[in-house]
Amino acid sequence: AQTVTQSQPEMSVQEAETVTLSCTYDTSESDYYLFWYKQPPSRQMILVIRQEAYKQQNATENRFSVNFQKAAKSFSLKISDSQLGDAAMYFCAYYRYNNNDMRFGAGTRLTVKP
């Protein structure tokens, strides 16, 4: 079974600084997708960034980028120039190709200090 582990229950960053959230996963598959979702107090899960496993290039979306290490099964999220609005729960998620079951980690609560 595929599992997703987020080893940092809480992280804190100073506004305008950079923070990295960690995620590891376990799978025997070669085709899959990885996601980072943000869940603010409004509870709605918002997609931050997506990575296709077959792509070697790390995904980037504005201030958000990932470090995808397929062999190590690691998928970390880097947030640059942190803003107060980045404060939220962040979930790492795994989605196997042709499967419909997205697996989530337990989440990391990010606090941004002004």
Partner 1 sequence: DAGVTQSPTHLIKTRGQQVTLRCSPKSGHDTVSWYQQALGQGPQFIFQYYEEEERQRGNFPDRFSGHQFPNYSSELNVNALLLGDSALYLCASSLARQGFMNTEAFFGQGTRLTVV
Between residues 16 and 46, which has the closer beta carbon with respect to partner 1?
A: 46
The phi and psi torsions of 48 (rounded to 5 degrees) equal: -95, -50
Q: Which two tokens stand for residue 101?
A: 């079951």
Nearer to partner 1, 64 or 95 (CB): 95
Least distance in Å: CB of 51 to partner 1? Answer: 13
Tokens for 104? 């989530």
* Smaller CB separation from partner 1, 39 or 58: 39
4 vs 110, which CB is nearer to partner 1? 4
Q: How far is the CB of 26 from partner 1 (least distance, A)?
A: 15
Phi-psi region of 57 (alpha: psi -120 to 50; beta: other; left: phi over 0): beta
By CB under 8 A, name the binding residues for partner 1.
Answer: 4, 33, 37, 42-47, 50, 91, 93, 95, 97-107
End-to-end CA distance of the chain: 41
Q: Are 112 and 38 in contact (CB under 8 A)?
A: no
* Nearest distance from C-beta of residue 79 to partner 1, angstroms: 19
